[in-house]
Amino acid sequence: MTDSVREALFVVGTDTGVGKTVLTAGVTGWLRRHGHDALAVKPCQTGYPPDDDAAVVAEACGTEAASTCLRRLEPALAPAVAADIADASLSYEAIESGVAEAVAGSETAVVEGIGGLRVPLADGREVLDLVADLGYPTLVVARSGLGTLNHTGLTVDALREHGVPVVGVVLNEYEGATTAARTNPDVLERMTDCPVWTLPPLDLADPTTAVDAVGDSLPDAALHGE
């Protein structure tokens, strides 16, 4: 392992609830265990409280310094919709510049997406616009079972069409209990020409298990940026 790390990594998902926070916590915690001052950045959290992805990352890493959230909104909706319902202002420019400033102020950062790529973010812009405008390499998190081929393929295609480098795909909660799950990794590698890794189901009552599992499941090059 070299001493250098990538400036930032963007963790994006094919949908909401697919495991972005698990992977973000795992990568951030792994980097910090290996001596890097890594920071997880959540551009916008909706459904707060009780949802608080930055707090999960902080607990997994054992310090509040490991994560930050730029904006929190109570309605559990897409950010642009949540802001409208809550009658709150939400600026795309402020979100983009806030992420860039957080990344610039850290040794390395892991930026966690919000839902899937086509989720409305602010000012007529979507999460995909933020990922493309920032230009950081991405890890795509997806479900493991039936239906993931279409969603994952479309997500990778959209990123590449916008010039975003894709590090690889992580199939979350992988057990291989069905034919679809067992065949999906190889099929997705052929479809996307990306490396595909699997992450097992985790008991996140102790969020540090995400750090152990990600370190065991993904190669150093994907985590470290070699």
Nearest CA to 127 among 175, 92, 88, 76? 92
Inter-residue contact 168 to 159 (CB < 8 Å): no
Q: Is the pLDDT of residue 91 over 70?
A: yes
Candidates 20, 42, 71, 143; catalytic one: 42
Share of the chain above pLDDT 70, in %: 98
Which position has the token pair 């949540």?
82
Exposure letters 11-44 (e unless 16+ CB within 10 A, then b): bbbbbeebbbbbbbbbbbbbbbeeebebbbbbbb
42 belongs to the catalytic site: yes
Separation CA 64–CA 79 (nearest Å)? 24
Residue 3 has a pLDDT of 64
What is the architecture of the domain spanning 8-224?
3-Layer(aba) Sandwich (3.40)
Residue 1 has a pLDDT of 40
pLDDT digits (tens, 9 = 90+) for 142-170: 999 999 999 999 999 999 999 999 999 99
Read off the pTM: 0.97
Q: Is the pLDDT of residue 136 over 90?
A: yes
Separation CA 119–CA 67 (nearest Å)? 22
Residue 115 has a pLDDT of 97
pLDDT (mean) for 196-203: 97
- What are the domain boundaries of the chain? 8-224
Residue 12 has a pLDDT of 98
